[in-house]
Amino acid sequence: MSAGSAHNICIHEEKITDFFGESACHYQGSAPLTEHCTFIIFLNRSGSSLLANYLTATGQFFGGDEHLNWDTVIDTAKRKGFGSFHDYMAFLTQRNKWNRNKRCLIKSATSQLQMLSRFGYLPHIASKLDFIRITRRDITAQAISLSIASQTKKWTSFQEGNGQEPVVDFETIDHIRQGIKTENRAAEQLIRDWELTPYRIVYEDFVNSPVQQTQNLCDHLIGQRPEIDTSKIKHKKTV
């Protein structure tokens, strides 16, 4: 599987292409990112929201959401009157005017990075990107967590969900585990294809010492070990 394989087009790419039109999605000849961005390459229930929460609590980052989700892109484009995906990408870091000296933090699934590759953006913005890759060592626990969240619609610790009592069965968990393995392989293939050098974090290690792990990460990215305002930590340890 290559990073730009046409066989892995995700719903985000389909919806964004339908909204803007194919030509308005492709790279338009000028770098859309004016400031550095940091991408968290993640799978669901890998602890990416907790990690993003700690990073923004340092005061050195802003954002930290899934800014490449199709509904976020389209809703923002409608509100701002953007006519192209390029306009949206430029907007992400132009927000830095209101977040001076902070880096834009974006959570991205592998399929969304593949989308950026197919749209022609990665070669032109790679120099302004840093990457973090967060994974879980225990993918069975990740699969169980994903199964529960998909049933309860409680994707973060502060969401109420739908109140449904989750049912966990071996066959479903095994199917999800295989999907996680496939997604992890796709992420590693993309990293190799684009010769990326992500800072790697293992969720189980992160939750044991989140402040130290966050400061180590900041030291790597920005050469600082900032204090963390723990009052801003709203996410809790993933189940």
Question: What letter would DSSP give residue 65?
Answer: E
Asked whether residue 73 carries a pLDDT value surpassing 90, the answer given is yes
Asked whether residue 38 carries a pLDDT value surpassing 90, the answer given is yes
At 71, is the pLDDT very low, low, confident or very high (cuts 50, 70, 90)? very high
pLDDT in tens, 164-211: 888 889 999 999 999 999 999 999 999 999 999 999 999 999 999 999
pLDDT of residue 204: 97
The pTM of the full predicted model, rounded to 2 decimals, is: 0.89
237 in a domain, yes or no? no
At 215, is the pLDDT very low, low, confident or very high (cuts 50, 70, 90)? very high
Asked whether residue 231 carries a pLDDT value surpassing 70, the answer given is yes
CATH code, 146: 3.40.50.300
Strand order in the sheet with 37-41: 61-65, 103-108, 37-41, 129-135, 199-202
Whole-number mean pLDDT of the chain? 88
The total of structural domains in the chain comes to 1
Asked whether residue 35 carries a pLDDT value surpassing 90, the answer given is no
Reduced to 3 states, what is the DSSP secondary structure of residue 111?
helix
213 in a domain, yes or no? yes
Higher pLDDT, 28 or 109: 109
At 144, is the pLDDT very low, low, confident or very high (cuts 50, 70, 90)? very high
At 6, is the pLDDT very low, low, confident or very high (cuts 50, 70, 90)? very low
Share of the chain above pLDDT 90, in %: 68
Q: Is 106 exposed, middle or buried (0-12, 13-18, 19+ CB in 10 A)?
A: buried
Asked whether residue 147 carries a pLDDT value surpassing 50, the answer given is yes
pLDDT of residue 40: 98
Domain containing 113: what range? 9-232
Q: Give the residue from 147, 172, 173, 149 showing the smallest Cα distance to 162.
A: 149
Six-digit token string for 224:
């600082």
45 in a domain, yes or no? yes
4 in a domain, yes or no? no
Six-digit token string for 8:
């892995």
| Section 108-133 average pLDDT | 91
pLDDT of residue 14: 96
Cα–Cα dist 197/194, whole Å: 9
At 3, is the pLDDT very low, low, confident or very high (cuts 50, 70, 90)? very low
2 in a domain, yes or no? no
Q: Are 33 and 183 in contact (CB under 8 A)?
A: no
Most confident region among 18-27, 101-110, 155-164 by mean pLDDT: 18-27
188 in a domain, yes or no? yes
pLDDT of residue 193: 92
208 in a domain, yes or no? yes
194 in a domain, yes or no? yes
